[in-house]
Amino acid sequence: KQEVTQIPAALSVPEGENLVLNCSFTDSAIYNLQWFRQDPGKGLTSLLLIQSSQREQTSGRLNASLDKSSGRSTLYIAASQPGDSATYLCAVSAGGSYIPTFGRGTSLIVHP
């Protein structure tokens, strides 16, 4: 059974810092890995998706990398802003079943 772990569970940083959020998974036979953002009381918004054959994806100030051999993904946020404050979740879809398993998330606060 796929297990997904996110570290750290919470993070508080001053505005302008570059951040790295970590996601690890136990089964490397994956179909894709997706990073989401969740604001309080809201649904999950897709940020980046990395397919099994890819190593990284970029969107604006966000960059996500995937290393299947080590069972890890990182989400890099450049020049953080208060508007980046949210919970960030990663979801790993197993190859074959296509069912996403979620980590518990990293709660990020960026203070001015």
Partner 1 sequence: DAGVIQSPRHEVTEMGQEVTLRCKPISGHNSLFWYRQTMMRGLELLIYFNNNVPIDDSGMPEDRFSAKMPNASFSTLKIQPSEPRDSAVYFCASSLGTAGEYDTGELFFGEGSRLTVL
Interface with partner 1 (CB under 8 A): 31-32, 34, 36, 41-46, 49, 51, 89, 91, 93, 97-105
Shortest Å, Cβ 39 to partner 1: 11
By CB neighbour count within 10 A (0-12 exposed, 13-18 middle, 19+ buried), where does 60 fall?
exposed
Shortest Å, Cβ 103 to partner 1: 8
Residue 71 or 103: which CB sits closer to partner 1? 103
Q: CA-CA distance, 64 to 74, in Å (whole number)? A: 6
Question: What is the residue whose two structure tokens read 């966000």?
Answer: 62
